[in-house]
Amino acid sequence: MSTFQLLHRLPEELLQEILDRLDSDAFRNLNVSSRRCYEWAAPRLWREVTLVDCRTAHNWGTSDEHDDGPLIRKLLVLATKPWLASHVQTLNHRCHLPPPAIFSELPRSTFSSQTLSTDPRTIRLAQLAVQNMTKVTTLRIIFGHPTLNDALLRCFFDKHRRKATPVRRLWLENCRISAGCCLEITDHPYGLPLELDFAGLESVRFRRLPLRPCSLPRDDAAVVYARSYRTRDMQDGRGGLYSTTINEPMVKEQAVGCEQTIWLAEASGQRDVVTGEAHNAESPLERIYECANRWDDYIYDQLAAFTSAEEQRVLDERHVPSHRQRSMLAYRGSLLDPLDMDLLRAWRLNQSERSPSSQVALNVLGNASQTLTSLTLDWIFTRPSTPGLTGVTPNDRLWVDLYLQFLSLRFPHLRAFQLRNAVVPEAALPPGLCLLDHSRITYALEEHDVMREVDLEPEQRRKLDLAGLEFMEAHAQLQCLAWPMDAFFSNRQSPAHTARRVDAVIANLARTLVDLRVDTLYTGVCDPQTEDVHCLTPGSRTRRRRFIQEFASKLTKLESIKIEGDIPRDERREVIRGLHACPLKKIVIIGIMCPLGNTWGADCSDMAVKPNPDEWGEVIEGEDKGAIWQYGPGPLNPPGANFKFQPEYGWPAGPPMIHTIASYHANTVTELKFCGYKGAPVLLTPTPVTTPMLSALKHFHNLESLILSLWLTTTFEGEARDEEVIAYWLNARSPDSTALVLVTDEEPEGWEKELLTNYAPKALAWRITSFIGPFLSERAKAREGGVHVRASFSVGDWGGMFDADLRVGKGAMGSDVCLGFEGPREELESGRRRSKLEGRRWF
């Protein structure tokens, strides 16, 4: 009797337990084994679906950078096979291209790409597929295509959708939401639902979104991804560049709606194009969609050979043969985040975005307020003007009003609230907005420490005054909180009646809070050791130190702390000391400098191979090596039973950072993460001070995971070889690659030998094990599975981050051994990408 016949006889509970242990490859094999096996495997294979496009080179010499063929085929299956679609629980949509680089590309991205996924047949397939996907509880759109984003959002959250489980988790990243999430509209060119309902959402993550309360000024530097012939180099997330098609500058795509170029009129009740040219001539609008429409026709013509009559009927029912009419349907308008309603009405025919994205986001959150338990606002762009504001404009008042409206919302069941803005100025809060104090919105350059109060309307000023405190008082069940470290308190002590309310909120958080994340904006080239003497922004320093003494030191239940941004090292240390009463399990510190200290010496003086000065800035402060050798390997200095926290600022000769952390929290910590490349331990040629600086890691006997930035020198014969190292790593993990170093009978020499002995993944894993292993606790390494170690490297001209994951344990002879490894992998590598999505807490 065959194994499959035996499987049929097993009790359902036992069969399901067996199936739960299979990986995706096993399910694919099972799926094609028999009809019965298909019924077991297919639902699991389709439990999570990702809609993603691809790059296709055509034989006529052009390349379609956004070929929707793969996602169209998936949508067709979901639209025509309700049984399969009914098993989908998680739906993801993303572009195959790397998302915009955080510092250089993201702030200038509008995510308004008008030519991606615009074919009416594609949008109709999405509508039908969503109708059949009745059990989806998680929707993620990460750098998706705008028109398809709109279709997925409006169909999943259709107010009149019936017989479907409500979506509970919504993740929107690197995309626009003003058209897709607008609660009510009067018409839609593709016939999408007009009324939306977000009730039932439990978790929302808005990440790297433009939520500005006004239109951006037109900017030739802005980039719009497009299906066209014009190309531009962009960062590939792997330390290099790639070329993709764009419409540049942005005004060329948006200017189609301007009166000087093209205007819209209603002719006999139909949308039409009127230009200064002959009526039947190709308009500027049609020229924008020339590539997109032609390539979509090609995709669907190719697909016709593999579709059934019923599937072809579905495809044909919304086909629009006219190039002009299809362009009219696809055009999203020229106004982003419109505020001038009179102007908007003038362009109402083809203006998809009827409300500012900031207002749309507020309406979504308000609509979901009764069910929301987790809300994350992660690097959202709300600032309407460029850095260096020296006065106040109406848009700045709208910026303030955006936060006032948000803080006026109430979420009765909220457990996690996170607002993070450490990366770029465009994500900053209005200066003077406080979570636990009186808010006095100010302007002018913080560097001069001359802040003038914004002249708000009296009623707005009154409501804003304690809006943050009132928000916190209304959400007394928070277990997770993230907020800028310098925006908890103002520069001045609160009046007595306010202080009593603040104390009550903090006392409650001391009982409930288990996860705290604080950050400040990255502004310099190196994190200073202290600002105790020299400080350009005394006001910001005062606010941060008030947070340490008046908030952090009062917590007692915290299990996880994350500190990120341009925070002086002494203040990070005092946060850790201030949390002495907390059973911390996870500590994360991220900065420009290595949070554990500078192993390179003052201005890199101790390094065998110095990095390019452009990579490390002008000044890197040195450590007191005598103190590090004295205290680093020495015994810990834990707080006594009668310890009372008093902050001690400055950076005198004393124990290194890891020694302080171990003294206060070694008994409870299971996870440590320290990211910051400048001054980080050098893997191949560590400096002498590295050993005493890391010695205290041996005291973390319960450690399960250590993530640490390391510096990897790629210089050979006086020349940096980053590109070659990255190419070697990428080729090493590709089963189809033949570009690896050729190993012959002769011993490799020169650079080939260097690659094999220092940079090959296996060699790198051995070097990491040999370097990190001796610092780790023997008890921790002796546990089954050892200690997970992730070594993070910054490699490449464009700041690619590669991670090597391994497990360090004990061998049969008691030596440190690598129990297994993966990588090096960049953040966008498929396995790495998935682990980050699934590992996000509070989503």
Greater model confidence, 328 or 680: 680
Q: In the structure, what pLDDT confidence band is assigned to residue 26 with cuts at 50, 70 and 90?
A: low
Q: In the structure, what pLDDT confidence band is assigned to residue 355 with cuts at 50, 70 and 90?
A: confident
Distance CA 719, CA 150 (A): 49
> Which range has the worst mean pLDDT, 22-26, 678-682, 781-785?
22-26
Give the H/E segment covering residue 405: helix 394-407
Say if residues 87 and 133 touch (Cβ distance below 8 Å): no
Q: Is the dihedral of CA 558, 560, 565, 570 positive or negative?
A: positive
Q: In the structure, what pLDDT confidence band is assigned to residue 788 with cuts at 50, 70 and 90?
A: very high
Q: Amino acid identity, residue 117? A: S
Question: Which pLDDT score, from 0 to 100, does residue 106 have?
Answer: 87
- Provide φ and ψ at 777, rounded to 5°: -60, 135
Question: Which pLDDT score, from 0 to 100, does residue 733 have?
Answer: 81
Say if residues 178 and 332 touch (Cβ distance below 8 Å): no
Question: Does position 220 have pLDDT exceeding 60, yes or no?
Answer: no
| Token pair 């002719």 in the structure block, residue | 267
- Provide φ and ψ at 573, rounded to 5°: -60, -40
Distance CA 682, CA 152 (A): 47
Among 714, 739, 710, which Cα is nearest to 725's?
714
Distance CA 129, CA 685 (A): 56
What would the pLDDT profile of 221-271 be if each residue is shown by its tens digit? Answer: 677 899 988 888 999 988 899 999 988 655 566 666 553 344 444 333 434
Distance CA 209, CA 69 (A): 27
User: What is the residue-wise DSSP string for 489-517?
Assistant: S-SSPPPHHHHHHHHHHHHHHHHH--EEE
Give the H/E segment covering residue 788: strand 787-795
Q: What is the mean pLDDT of residues 379-392?
A: 66
Distance CA 131, CA 170 (A): 18
Q: In the structure, what pLDDT confidence band is assigned to residue 8 with cuts at 50, 70 and 90?
A: low
> Which range has the worst mean pLDDT, 39-48, 151-160, 225-234, 474-483?
39-48
Distance CA 393, CA 385 (A): 9
Q: Where are the alpha helices (DSSP H) in 513-585?
A: 538-550, 569-578
Question: Does position 557 have pLDDT exceeding 90, yes or no?
Answer: yes
Q: In the structure, what pLDDT confidence band is assigned to residue 15 with cuts at 50, 70 and 90?
A: low
Say if residues 334 and 344 touch (Cβ distance below 8 Å): no
Say if residues 655 and 625 touch (Cβ distance below 8 Å): no
Question: Terminal CA-to-CA distance of the chain, rounded, Å?
Answer: 46
Question: Which pLDDT score, from 0 to 100, does residue 742 have?
Answer: 46
Contacts of 94 (CB under 8 A, 6+ apart): 50, 51, 52, 140, 141, 142, 143, 144
Distance CA 187, CA 275 (A): 25
Say if residues 353 and 359 touch (Cβ distance below 8 Å): no
Question: Which pLDDT score, from 0 to 100, does residue 145 have?
Answer: 96
Among 539, 572, 531, 578, which Cα is nearest to 558's?
578
Greater model confidence, 37 or 273: 37
Say if residues 212 and 384 touch (Cβ distance below 8 Å): yes
> Which range has the worst mean pLDDT, 308-322, 528-542, 729-743?
729-743
Distance CA 452, CA 494 (A): 19
Question: Which pLDDT score, from 0 to 100, does residue 251 have?
Answer: 58
What would the pLDDT profile of 366-385 be if each residue is shown by its tens digit? Answer: 999 999 999 999 999 988 75
Angle between helices 290-304 and 309-316 (to 10 degrees): 160
Distance CA 788, CA 148 (A): 39
What would the pLDDT profile of 425-482 be if each residue is shown by its tens digit? Answer: 888 898 899 999 999 887 654 444 556 677 777 888 889 999 999 999 999 999 999 9
Question: Which pLDDT score, from 0 to 100, does residue 700 have?
Answer: 98
Say if residues 97 and 65 touch (Cβ distance below 8 Å): yes
For the chain, how long is the longest CA-to-CA vector?
A: 88
For residues 288-313, b (16+ Cβ closer than 10 Å) or e, as one string? Answer: bbbbbbebbbbbbeebeeebeeebee
Contacts of 779 (CB under 8 A, 6+ apart): 701
Six token digits for residue 311: 């599937």
- HSE at residue 452, side-chain half, CA atoms within 13 A, is 8
Q: What is the mean pLDDT of residues 109-138?
A: 94
Question: Does position 285 have pLDDT exceeding 50, yes or no?
Answer: yes
Query: How far, in Å, are 103, 137, 546 from residue 407 at the CA level?
Result: 28, 27, 22
Question: Which pLDDT score, from 0 to 100, does residue 629 have?
Answer: 96
Say if residues 257 and 814 touch (Cβ distance below 8 Å): no
Among 45, 91, 95, 53, which Cα is nearest to 72's?
53
Q: What is the mean pLDDT of residues 725-729?
A: 92
3-class DSSP state for residue 679?
Answer: coil
Q: What is the mean pLDDT of residues 737-747?
A: 50
Q: What percent of the chain has pLDDT over 70?
A: 84
Mean pLDDT of the chain: 86
Q: What is the mean pLDDT of residues 814-842?
A: 89
Q: What is the mean pLDDT of residues 398-407?
A: 92
Of 18-22, 216-220, 264-268, 671-675, which one has max mean pLDDT?
671-675
Tell whether omega for the bond before 824 is within 30 degrees of 0, i.e. cis: yes
Question: Does position 489 have pLDDT exceeding 50, yes or no?
Answer: yes
Burial class (CB within 10 angstroms; exposed 0-12, middle 13-18, buried 19+) of 16: exposed
Question: Does position 275 have pLDDT exceeding 60, yes or no?
Answer: no
Question: Which pLDDT score, from 0 to 100, does residue 738 have?
Answer: 45
Question: Does position 766 have pLDDT exceeding 70, yes or no?
Answer: yes
Distance CA 426, CA 219 (A): 15
Domain boundaries, the chain: 1-45, 54-200+216-356, 514-711, 714-843
Give the H/E segment covering residue 197: none
3-class DSSP state for residue 134?
Answer: coil
Question: Which pLDDT score, from 0 to 100, does residue 109 have?
Answer: 84
What would the pLDDT profile of 72-98 be if each residue is shown by its tens digit? Answer: 999 999 999 999 999 999 999 999 999
Question: Which pLDDT score, from 0 to 100, does residue 344 have?
Answer: 57
| Token pair 């600032």 in the structure block, residue | 383
Contacts of 252 (CB under 8 A, 6+ apart): none
Strands of 168-250, DSSP E: 169-173, 203-207, 224-225, 231-235, 241-247
Among 229, 179, 308, which Cα is nearest to 64's?
229
Question: Which pLDDT score, from 0 to 100, does residue 671 have?
Answer: 98
Question: Which pLDDT score, from 0 to 100, does residue 205 have?
Answer: 97
Say if residues 424 and 457 touch (Cβ distance below 8 Å): no
Question: Does position 739 have pLDDT exceeding 80, yes or no?
Answer: no
Say if residues 169 and 139 touch (Cβ distance below 8 Å): yes
Six token digits for residue 198: 């977000």
3-class DSSP state for residue 243?
Answer: strand
Q: Where are the alpha helices (DSSP H) in 21-80?
A: 24-31, 35-45, 69-80
- HSE at residue 41, side-chain half, CA atoms within 13 A, is 19
3-class DSSP state for residue 587?
Answer: strand
Question: Does position 324 have pLDDT exceeding 80, yes or no?
Answer: yes
Distance CA 551, CA 561 (A): 13
Strands of 391-548, DSSP E: 416-420, 442-443, 452-453, 480-484, 515-519
> Which range has the worst mean pLDDT, 267-271, 386-390, 569-573?
267-271
Distance CA 778, CA 345 (A): 71
Question: Which pLDDT score, from 0 to 100, does residue 61 have?
Answer: 74
Question: Does position 547 have pLDDT exceeding 90, yes or no?
Answer: yes
Q: In the structure, what pLDDT confidence band is assigned to residue 613 with cuts at 50, 70 and 90?
A: low
- 221 beta partners: none
